[in-house]
Amino acid sequence: MKPRIAIFSLTGCEGCSLAILELEDQLLAVLDAVEIVNFREGMTERAWDIDIGFVDGAVSTPGDEAEIRHYRESCKVLVAIGACACLGGINTLKNHQLAAEYRGYVYGERAAWFPTTAARPIAAVVKVDYELPGCPMVKEEFLRFVKHLLAGRQFRLPDYAVCVECKKRGNPCLYDRGVVCLGPMTRAGCDAICPTYGSKCEACRGIVSPEALAAAALNLRDQYHVPQEEVLAGLRLYGAYQEEKLP
């Protein structure tokens, strides 16, 4: 029997779910090996006996919390896809503001109709088996992950920083232009796409480890006079939860 797959979305732009559809021909090859039984972006049927469930979006409302518990109960393997699901993502920017202010700004007079909570990664609410980070997640990494899982092989994210991929591509370092780039502490796997196109890394794939973050922050302070507060402020864009990982 083919593994039964579901793709769910909580609070986010659903860009990570869409990235799966963007795989096009490669997705068709995967579809030979699996059965998609629940995917709001791509079908109307709904089934709840699921082998592997992928979830994008953060837990950001009481409704999200109920949904992610339901997904966890329904899926043998639960996979967080994208920065929102893995880190809280852009949604966590509201965690640094007064609820009355951002709720009024977003919902106006109808704010009471839309209950909201602090934004959290899904692992803050339920057990998560795997995480595929990025904003959006890297679709080639998703494909590699599915192939590993179907073959019964162990899947691991890269355990080194974006700088490694950046150097391999021969990019000039943005620090030489005085730009604060978060590549030294950010998990590789995106092929350093942002610095390759001249933009700083903003750590959408999260940090490699608390130790890597601490070491990189010290190095940036000593070598380029970047205050640690500036590094932490940068990391806040995709997930305030990363700050808690600082040793």
242 binds ligand SF4 (CB under 6 A): no
Annotate each residue in 117-156 with x if it binds ligand SF4 (CB under 6 A) or - if it does not, as one string: -----------------xxx--------------------
Instruction: Return the H-helix or E-strand segment holding 207.
Output: none
171 binds ligand SF4 (CB under 6 A): yes
Annotate each residue in 73-112 with x if it binds ligand SF4 (CB under 6 A) or - if it does not, as one string: ---------xxx----xx----------------------
Among 186, 216, 217, 239, binds ligand SF4 (CB under 6 A): 186
Nearer to ligand SF4, 32 or 222 (CB): 222
234 binds ligand SF4 (CB under 6 A): no
Say if residue 98 is exposed, middle or buried (CB neighbours under 10 Å; 0-12, 13-18, 19+): exposed
Among 52, 55, 190, 240, binds ligand SF4 (CB under 6 A): 190
Among 175, 210, 215, 230, binds ligand SF4 (CB under 6 A): 175
| Residue 144 to residue 216: CA distance in whole angstroms | 29
Among 50, 78, 122, 194, binds ligand SF4 (CB under 6 A): 194
How does strand 50-56 pair with strand 35-39? unpaired
Say if residue 168 is exposed, middle or buried (CB neighbours under 10 Å; 0-12, 13-18, 19+): exposed
Give the interface size with ligand SF4 as a residue count (CB under 6 A). 37
- Given its phi and psi angles, is residue 123 left (phi above 0), alpha (psi -120 to 50 degrees) or beta? alpha
Residue nearest ligand SF4, CB atom distance: 183
| Residue 238 to residue 64: CA distance in whole angstroms | 19
CB 122, CB 10: distance < 8 Å: yes
CB 140, CB 149: distance < 8 Å: no
**Where does this chain bind ligand SF4 (CB under 6 A)?**
12-16, 56-57, 82-84, 89-90, 134-136, 162-163, 166-167, 171, 173-175, 181, 183-184, 186, 190, 192-195, 201-205
